[in-house]
Chains A and B, each alone.
Chain A
Amino acid sequence: GQQLNQSPQSMFIQEGEDVSMNCTSSSIFNTWLWYKQDPGEGPVLLIALYKAGELTSNGRLTAQFGITRKDSFLNISASIPSDVGIYFCAGRFNDMRFGAGTRLTVKP
């Protein structure tokens, strides 16, 4: 099945810093999505991307759907303590596959 490679695995940053994480795949997708998971909860959608090359923002979050349809990145600007959590990329063609996650820690 499709494999998604997400990096980095973890990040330790200072409050106010910008964050960047990305996902690559050997397969193409028709939708790329980014989710955030807090402890004891299910993943919650942050951003959904539907077209190759699409760049979408949601507040301090910006994500792009790669031109090749095999990659995507997520940027978080001016991080705050509540950004702490695990961020997952996901790609959908028929089913939906997830990356291994990026665990973000923000130090005040």
Chain B
Amino acid sequence: DAGVIQSPRHEVTEMGQEVTLRCKPISGHDYLFWYRQTMMRGLELLIYFNNNVPIDDSGMPEDRFSAKMPNASFSTLKIQPSEPRDSAVYFCASSLGLAGVAGANVLTFGAGSRLTVL
């Protein structure tokens, strides 16, 4: 398996533009997580899905952020309109379900998407 695949790896955009980050989880994983990493706030959980359904989006900063998972192999995180304070590295991660089986609770991360909003 190629692991969790994120795109783009780097994006530079201007304030007010729409940004779409993409993620392909590991095949067979039924949990998908979106995190944001900054120096000041560390790794923050934004939202996670189970079987394509959003379970907890309480970490999404504001209405400018939205995430979707139309099928088991694809998720997007959208920021519209983007602001300079959204500059961060955004990580997607996936895992198997919480069945109590060893290895099931382990998140595998993608390489991240570094977003810079000017």
Which residues of A are at the interface with B, using a C-beta cutoff of 8 A?
Answer: 1, 30-31, 33, 35, 40-45, 48, 50, 88, 90, 92, 94-101
Q: For A92, give the chain B residue with the smallest CB separation.
A: B105
Report yes or no: B105 in contact with A43, Cβ–Cβ below 8 A.
Answer: no
Chain B interface size, as a band, is 20 to 34
10 A-B pairs with C-beta separation under 8 A: A30-B100, A42-B91, A43-B109, A48-B102, A90-B107, A92-B105, A94-B56, A94-B98, A95-B33, A96-B33
The answer, among B45, B98, B108, for a CB contact under 8 Å with A45, is B108
- Across the interface, name the chain B residue whose C-beta is closest to A48: B106
Q: Is B93 an interface residue (CB 8 A)?
A: yes
Nearest opposing residue in chain B for A29, CB measure: B105
B109 touches A42 (CB 8 A): yes
| Known pairs A94-B56, A95-B45; A48 contacts B103 (CB<8 A) | yes
B109 touches A101 (CB 8 A): no
Q: Is the CB of A42 within 8 A of B43?
A: no
